[in-house]
Structure 1
Amino acid sequence: MRKPYGSNGPANGFPDADARATFSADHPLVPWKQPDHMDQWVDVDHSGEQLKRFLARWPTLDELLDGGSGDGRVVIVSGLPGMGKTSLIHRCIHEARQRVAKGASEAGDPLAVCVPTAGLMNDGHRISVGPDGSFAPVELINTRIRKEIAKRLLRHAFPEERVRSIVAEEDPYQAYGDMRDLLDQHNALLFAVIPHIRWNDAGLRTDFLRSCLSAAHPRIVLFVEVSHGAAETAREEVAATLHGSAAVTHLALRELDAEDIWRFSHSARAANGGPGGLVEPDRSSLVAAHSEWRPSDVRELRRVFHSAADALRSAPHPWPIDADALRPHWERRRAGRASLLRDPIPPRSGG
């Protein structure tokens, strides 16, 4: 989870433990850019359950490609900030691409085009902030999403004139209908990742999600990230917004519990143990730590454990990761929790 791609420890050509990459940034996993993503995937946020739900609802390749079926797909992933929604989306795309590859020969080897519309850093400001620094209207946000998709289509040598006309089209339904026709002509399948956007109210979010549903044409799959505060009931709100549509799959990540702390420690433990690694963690101590620590999200969990592990590796003899080892590191990070739920972008003048 340290980099969107590149070296990340001994498995990537660094046999010396001291030469491993430092924890300088915290990015979502991007499996098609990160060859060792399977080694970094730790199911601590109930995302494994949601991945199984996604795969159970995933249509056959023929259904995705067949214009007669009438629907593409919208996959909504909701949960608290920092819970791993973007990583889950990328994992879903990876699994979907694997299934596409298995049926590729029978379907004429379709091209799978993946578009992170807010970049690998998943920065929603790129598409949601207007020229004056205020919140952009939904129409402009949708146009910017299509522009990001258009850039990737042009890289794959799709006809420039056709791609430009799709961006210029004002009606979203017609624009994505034209895109569907273009993908069909080139036997391509589009996966587009829509980042979390800090909506000013639930009504704007509802309008946007409905506009995403209008884009659910065959050959088009939109993965939409929805973050919410602890006081919100986003699961119910999102479900009510798109109730009854067979094109929608809703994946909801729950809050962390005591067992999640234990699972993360056990999965993240260095395999070799000893002075250069970590010894078996103390399960009872970690489970008990939840009531005192209560980590707000996976991002905090990861950072506290990595910080504690680095400190323990310099100890003269092996120590287990337990509550006492973690406590000074989680106490330092408590002050930064509020920054994860940033204020929404101010609305445009006039509402």
Structure 2
Amino acid sequence: MTSSDWANPYGVRKPYGANGADHGDHGGKARASLSADHPLVPWKQPDHLHQWVDVDHSREELDRFGTSWPPLGELLDGSSGHGRVVIVSGPPGMGKTSLIHRCIHEVRQRVAAAAAWAGDPLPVCVPTAGLANDGRRISVDPDGAFAPTSLINARIRREIAKSLRLHDFPESRVQSIVAEEDPFQAYSDMSELLVQHNALLLAVIPHIRWNDAALRARFLSTCLSNAHTRIVLFVEVSHGAAETAREVAATLSDSAAVTHLALRELNSEDIWRFSHSARASDDGPNGLVKPDRSSLMAAHSEWRPSDVRELRTVFHSAADALRSAPYPWPIDADALRPHWERRRAGRDALLRAPIPPRSGG
């Protein structure tokens, strides 16, 4: 790891391990490795809260989540018969996974605040496709084709089972949930187990690049039926599928168990806002000069970044280059331009192609 990796104020720490433990050593302090791009995970890395910035209208959606979230007692009450589904939709790279992780952080904070009267409920957080939330991990079969829906559901349950085992849930009960062929019954048994152990399951279902919109809609509808008592499913929908998410949420609008958070495109203020998301960092050879608002605002019309992932990568690359400059330099349009021009050349790679369908449909 280079000194600029430590100094770069736009680097995101990548949490590792079951408890988010850092790896590596720097100055006698354990550190997680830094990346130019990684979803913010504040429930594992609390300092990621300081990098949270409303460049994708996520603050508005986070507030919507907060106001629609039920009291803890209602979520833990088995008499309601259901848990909750949170659908998060928006363009690729727009920060949906970071928003989901921010929502999980909010839930954990509320659980901690109500721990005494609720008997110290245990929040079990399960990113079923890893912290980076890559849906290919559960939606691609060994041949590289799209996996059958039954296999996708089985993989999601297996990931949940791994986390339950880490919290010492009875192996025989966990195994029976994995082996159960009927998904509805499996989640019903899981809900019963969560009640017995006073636990709350927060499971993240990644964006799955469905080849068929109707199949995607049926999968989203199924997620609701699987959200039994004490089960909260955060479901990500991406790549032009916002309409599908809205339509599914609308069909389920009579159920209080559904919350739909929709992220939108970037606007002209977003580059300026993002420039303030820099984390506090070790001093490099030269500090970054305060950004110039007029220059960054002008950069938007020339650059027109497609998403938050592109913003983060370009700012990280520019800051890394400026750290080795012979004198302090501001993050402005001139500093960003060579990095966004290189990024623009490969922008199509961000719009991931659908996974090839299985033979026979």
Q: 1:280 to 1:8 in 2, by over 3 A?
A: farther
Aligned counterparts of 1:59 and 1:197: Cα–Cα separation in 2: 28
SS of match in other structure, 2:100: helix
* Match of residue 59 from structure 1: 70
* Match of residue 114 from structure 2: 103
* Match of residue 205 from structure 2: 194
* Match of residue 3 from structure 2: none
Work out whether residues 207 and 236 of structure 2, in 8 Å CA contact, stay in contact via their aligned partners in 1.
Answer: yes
Alignment of 1:1-351 (within 5 A): 2-5=12-15, 24-229=35-240, 233-234=243-244, 236-240=246-250, 242-268=252-278, 276-351=286-361
- Quote the offset at 1:267 in angstroms: 3.3
Q: Which amino acid aligns with 2:76?
A: L
SS of match in other structure, 2:87: strand
Aligned counterparts of 1:211 and 1:314: Cα–Cα separation in 2: 52
Work out whether residues 322 and 328 of structure 2, in 8 Å CA contact, stay in contact via their aligned partners in 1.
Answer: yes
- Quote the offset at 1:50 in angstroms: 1.0
SS of match in other structure, 1:36: helix
Q: 1:135 to 1:197 in 2, by over 3 A?
A: same
SS of match in other structure, 2:115: coil
> How many residues were matched structurally?
345
5+ residue gaps, structure 1: none
1:1-43 residue CA offsets vs partner (Å, 9 max, x unmatched): 523226699xx9669xxxx988545221222321422222222
Q: 1:223 to 1:133 in 2, by over 3 A?
A: same
Aligned counterparts of 1:133 and 1:176: Cα–Cα separation in 2: 28
Aligned counterparts of 2:63 and 2:134: Cα–Cα separation in 1: 27
- Quote the offset at 1:58 in angstroms: 0.8
Work out whether residues 217 and 245 of structure 2, in 8 Å CA contact, stay in contact via their aligned partners in 1.
Answer: no
Q: CA RMSD in A?
A: 2.6
Q: Identity of counterpart residues, as a percentage? A: 77
Deviates further, 270-279 or 49-58: 270-279
1:142-197 residue CA offsets vs partner (Å, 9 max, x unmatched): 11111111111112111111111112222222111111111111111100011111
* Match of residue 18 from structure 2: none
Greater RCO, 1 or 2 (C-alpha within 8 Å, sep 6+): 2
SS of match in other structure, 2:217: helix
Deviates further, 38-47 or 51-60: 38-47
- Quote the offset at 1:137 in angstroms: 2.0
Work out whether residues 128 and 141 of structure 1, in 8 Å CA contact, stay in contact via their aligned partners in 2.
Answer: yes
- Quote the offset at 1:198 in angstroms: 0.8
